[in-house]
Amino acid sequence: MFMKSFGFTQSTHYFIGLVILSTLLAIPSVSAAQTANECSFSRTLEDGVDGEDVRCLQKYLNDNGFVIAESGPGAVGHETNLFRTLTKEAVVKWQKAKNVNPASGVFGPQSQAAYLLDLIAKIEGKKADTVAVATAPTPAPQVAGISTSAIDENKNKGESILKDAFKMMRDAEKQVDDLDDESKLAKLNKNLTDARIDLYDALESFFDEDYKNAYASGQDALDAASKVFEKAGGETYESKADDVLSDVTDLLEDVQGLYSDAKDNKADVGDSKKMISEAEDLLNDAQDEFDKRGYKQAISDALDAEEILNDAKDEIDFVGEKDVEGYIEEVRNELDDAEDEINDADDDGEDVDDAWDLFKDAEKKLNKADLAIDDEEYLDAQNYAEDAQDLIDEALDSISGSSSGDEKKAKKAVANAWDDYDDAKNDISDAEDDGDNMDDAWDLLKDAKKKLNKADDSYDDEEYQDALDYVDDAEDLIDEALDEL
């Protein structure tokens, strides 16, 4: 195809121009005036911005029935370069008509993709009109074995994959633009060019009504752009969904094993069997959605399954081998951390004799827990591990001087909480970019930040317990914010 001979620039907007131009070449009767609404958007347009791209957007809205103003600035023929309240209101109406969600009045990547598809649809309509005038109408051919509904379904799938591919291309380009590694940039830009060629092939097939090939080429473009996005440091919903599905599948196997052990030992399993079955159905739904590229729904279904599995776990009145082994491993890690803290206190000249005695007792309890595991006495093993945890806490509390144990515990807790805050902030920003309403989540996160600032102040004032209390409050707020996802 002749498009492959073109040298693409990094800008998607130049590529879009080529696509539209190549389409127009096939429509000899379409005049320049008929294509006056071809805008090039290189940024998000929203209330307060100025520029010629705003003027072009206003002309497009006015020409398509979403009038900025009946008279004066913004009216037909009097478009301005100012994006203000009237422009925002017109964009909201247009977004609702084009099923862009949310209809916020912000003309960002999702709206720009919808604009492009609308423009292409209009071009195709003009092409069809031209053909209709030039030739006598003939009955639509009936292809054996292919129903009208099947064609419509393939067309819808083609449109859907094109939208996804356009959006991922934009995300990939933005991610690549943020890179500083020149050698990596060159390679990723080449990969982006390959993705653009696939996308052009998809559009060409779509215009030729070869919807199956349009879908296949669109899928190639989406996959290629997704790989670029990930290699440039981004995380796609596909990879997120894959990770969540993997984790919840592992949890399902653990709970199934726990249920089986509980039944063998004639322990009470409550309603866990029914709950496990519900979780299995949800996981199957999640896998189906994943296979259909419905990654958000796949994540949602998998997380619902995870919640049910955790409830099922609570229903089972039995301590399983894997649960106890995991708990013992956690306590042993805390024992290692305590050893470091006691050594640090010793180096600082503190009296650590009692701490070492308690440490050795905790070590003995953990050894007994290991032996109990070997004897399949899991409840005894858990009790020994819990005793070891108590002894570790006592050892740290016994360190004399300036409450070194509390200080380090508070320092670690505050640092971890800030990490959780940053992670939640990124997740909520991603959700907002995808059109979700995250106002409540942002409010909760703002409150969490206030608590963390107070935790920092308390730590600086050597009020370590107060710092830990503020951290607990902040973590609760962060969890609530993430629940909004």
Alpha-carbon dihedral 24, 27, 29, 30, rounded to 10 degrees: -30
User: What's residue 336's pLDDT?
Assistant: 93
Q: How many CA atoms lie within 13 A of 211 on its CB side?
A: 14
- Taking every pair of Cα atoms in the chain, the longest distance, rounded to a whole number of angstroms, is 101
pLDDT of residue 187: 82
DSSP 43: S
Task: Find tokens 């422009």 and name the residue.
Answer: 87
- Over its length of 485 residues, how does the chain's per-residue pLDDT go in tens digits? 333 333 333 334 434 444 443 443 333 333 333 344 567 777 889 999 999 999 999 999 999 999 999 999 999 999 999 999 999 999 999 999 988 878 899 998 778 877 877 776 666 565 455 444 444 444 444 444 445 677 778 888 888 888 888 878 878 878 887 777 777 777 888 887 788 778 877 877 887 788 888 889 888 888 888 888 888 887 777 888 888 999 999 999 989 988 888 888 777 888 999 999 999 999 999 999 988 878 888 899 999 999 999 999 888 876 667 778 888 999 999 999 999 989 988 888 888 888 999 999 999 999 999 998 888 888 788 889 999 999 998 888 887 544 555 777 788 889 889 988 888 888 888 887 777 788 888 889 889 999 999 998 888 888 888 889 999 999 999 988 888 87
The helices-and-strands tally (H runs, E runs) of the chain is 16, 0
Count Cβ neighbours within 10 Å for each residue of 361-390 and write b for 16 or more, e otherwise: bbbebbebbeebbeeebbebbbbbbebbbe
User: Which value, to the nearest 10 degrees, does the dihedral of the CA atoms of residues 353, 359, 361, 363 take?
Assistant: -150
161 close to 219: Cβ distance less than 8 angstroms? yes
pLDDT digits (tens, 9 = 90+) for 193-229: 788 778 877 877 887 788 888 889 888 888 888 888 8
Residue 299 structure tokens: 């994540």
What is the pLDDT at residue 166? 80
- Burial degree of 264 (CB within 10 A; 0-12, 13-18, 19+): exposed
In angstroms and rounded to an integer, the radius of gyration of the C-alpha atoms of the chain is: 30
Q: Which residues lie below 8 Å from residue 112, measured CB to CB, with a gap of 6+? A: 41, 170
Cβ(15)–Cβ(198) below 8 Å: no
